[in-house]
């Protein structure tokens, strides 16, 4: 597998409470850690992949450091209690980008995620910048070419930039172009986008592509009227769902460890009200959490918030 690297065993360590009881287990004790990249051995389970890349963030003039995100999130998740769903996790290693080689890294992520999906696994990807979304999302679209795939992005940004080079700001425009080339529908909903963080050109592009957008203020103040119906529509209308979460959708006080901390944002407790029905729908095929940058964390609070989000997703994720 191109650009693939195994994960260092130090990522999966924690407190051992088995002297208390046989079921006093934590995630590091129940995650499966095979030797090598072998998705064909684990159909029906959740492949945990890392995308150690911030080449897209650099191109987008953001704060570099997200390449260290995958292993930092693993370490934060490792010591959390293992409950229902967590033994389904299988460690599938990292795709590690080389300097200034974004497109090659995205292709490698695509190939790894596609192999997992074709082995009938679900995929949980820890980024990396939001350039993760093109590699991961194109794999989901390619894995199910005859089905309607709903794309749900929880993000302060629309990430529809028009640019001659791919970056962390272009993934959904790239996916729209991918769908056009494959002659399939581009079904994109964005929850939490900030009017203050997206230029009018981006809103125009969203309108041109028929993107459904629910702004951050609407998520905060019109959840039942706007958010819940859009979640229900996605579940009802699409065969598969892919959930991509840019952690900068969270308020800066909950998530300081991103390239662009949110001045407002959607609190984690409210974000989980969006995530839960998607996880329980039986249609969720893939999830990624992106933009975590441990260099800018404060006392580990961002890592804990992101890891709790990943923990909750695995716990709720129903086949």
Q: What is residue 69's predicted lDDT score, i.e. its pLDDT? A: 98
C-alpha span between 225 and 227 (Å, rounded) = 6
pLDDT grade, residue 1 (50/70/90)?
confident
For residues 148-173, average pLDDT: 97
Asked if 171 contacts 103 with a C-beta cutoff of 8 angstroms, the reply is: no
- The whole-chain average pLDDT of the chain stands at 97
Q: What is residue 130's predicted lDDT score, i.e. its pLDDT? A: 98
* Tokens representing residue 55 in the block: 């080449």
Residue 25 belongs to what domain range?
Answer: 4-316
C-alpha span between 31 and 27 (Å, rounded) = 6
What total number of domains does the chain contain? 1
Go through the chain and tell me how many residues it has: 319
For residues 3-23, average pLDDT: 97
pLDDT tens digits, 161-220: 999 999 999 999 999 999 999 999 999 999 999 999 999 999 999 999 999 999 999 999
For residues 107-134, average pLDDT: 98
Q: What is residue 157's predicted lDDT score, i.e. its pLDDT? A: 98
Q: What is residue 298's predicted lDDT score, i.e. its pLDDT? A: 97
Q: What share of the chain is helix, strand, coil (3-state, %, to 5)?
A: 45, 20, 40
For residues 12-34, average pLDDT: 97
For residues 42-66, average pLDDT: 97
pLDDT grade, residue 6 (50/70/90)?
very high
pLDDT tens digits, 225-264: 999 999 999 999 999 999 999 999 999 999 999 999 999 9
Q: Which CATH number goes with the domain that contains 77?
A: 3.40.800.10
Q: What is residue 142's predicted lDDT score, i.e. its pLDDT? A: 98
- Using alpha carbons, select from 253, 132, 265 the residue that is nearest to residue 197: 265
pLDDT at 304 over 90: yes
Give the distance, in angstroms, between the CA of residue 220 and the centroid of all CA atoms in the same chain: 22
Neighbours of 186 (CB within 10 A): 19
C-alpha span between 132 and 128 (Å, rounded) = 6
Q: What is residue 299's predicted lDDT score, i.e. its pLDDT? A: 96
Q: What is the pTM of this model?
A: 0.98
- Sequence-distant (6+) residues with CB within 8 A of 200 are none
CA dihedral of 21, 23, 28, 34, whole degrees rounded to 10: 120
Q: What is residue 319's predicted lDDT score, i.e. its pLDDT? A: 79
DSSP three-state, residue 150? strand
DSSP three-state, residue 125? strand
Q: What is residue 141's predicted lDDT score, i.e. its pLDDT? A: 98
Residues paired with residue 191 on neighbouring β-strands, in sequence order: 154, 214
Parallel/antiparallel/unpaired status of strands 4-5 and 89-96: antiparallel
pLDDT tens digits, 73-117: 999 999 999 999 999 999 999 999 999 999 999 999 999 999 999
Could you please report the per-residue DSSP string of 50-85?
Answer: EEE--HHHHHTT----GGGHHHHHHHHHHTSBP-TT
């Amino acid at each position: 597998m191109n650009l693939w690297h195994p994960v260092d065993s130090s990522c999966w360590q924690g407190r051992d409470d088995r002297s208390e009881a046989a079921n006093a287990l934590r995630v590091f004790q129940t995650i499966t850690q095979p030797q090598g990249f072998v998705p064909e051995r684990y159909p029906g389970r959740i492949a945990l992949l890392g995308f150690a890349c911030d080449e897209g963030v650099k191109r987008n003039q953001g704060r570099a450091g997200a390449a260290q995100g995958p292993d930092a999130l693993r370490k934060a998740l490792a010591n959390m209690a293992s409950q229902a769903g967590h033994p389904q996790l299988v460690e599938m290693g990292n795709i590690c980008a080389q300097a200034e080689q974004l497109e090659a890294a995205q292709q490698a992520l695509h190939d790894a995620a596609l192999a997992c999906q074709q082995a009938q696994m679900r995929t949980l990807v820890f980024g990396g910048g939001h350039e993760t979304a093109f590699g991961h999302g194109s794999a989901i679209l390619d894995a199910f070419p005859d089905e309607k795939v709903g794309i749900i992005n929880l993000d302060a940004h629309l990430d529809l930039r028009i640019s001659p080079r791919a970056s962390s700001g272009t993934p959904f425009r790239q996916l729209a172009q991918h769908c056009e080339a494959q002659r399939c529908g581009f079904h994109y909903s964005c929850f939490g986008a900030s009017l203050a963080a997206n230029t009018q050109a981006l809103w125009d592009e969203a309108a041109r592509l028929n993107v459904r957008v629910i702004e951050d203020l609407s998520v905060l103040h019109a959840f039942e009227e706007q958010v819940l119906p859009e979640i229900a529509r996605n579940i009802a209308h699409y065969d598969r769902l892919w959930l991509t979460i840019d952690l900068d959708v969270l308020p800066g006080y909950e998530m300081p460890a991103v390239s662009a901390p949110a001045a407002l944002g959607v609190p984690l407790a409210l974000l989980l009200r969006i995530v839960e029905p998607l996880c329980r729908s039986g249609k969720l095929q893939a999830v990624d959490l992106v933009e975590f940058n441990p260099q800018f964390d404060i006392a580990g609070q961002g890592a804990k918030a992101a890891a709790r989000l990943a923990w909750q997703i695995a716990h709720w994720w129903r086949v």
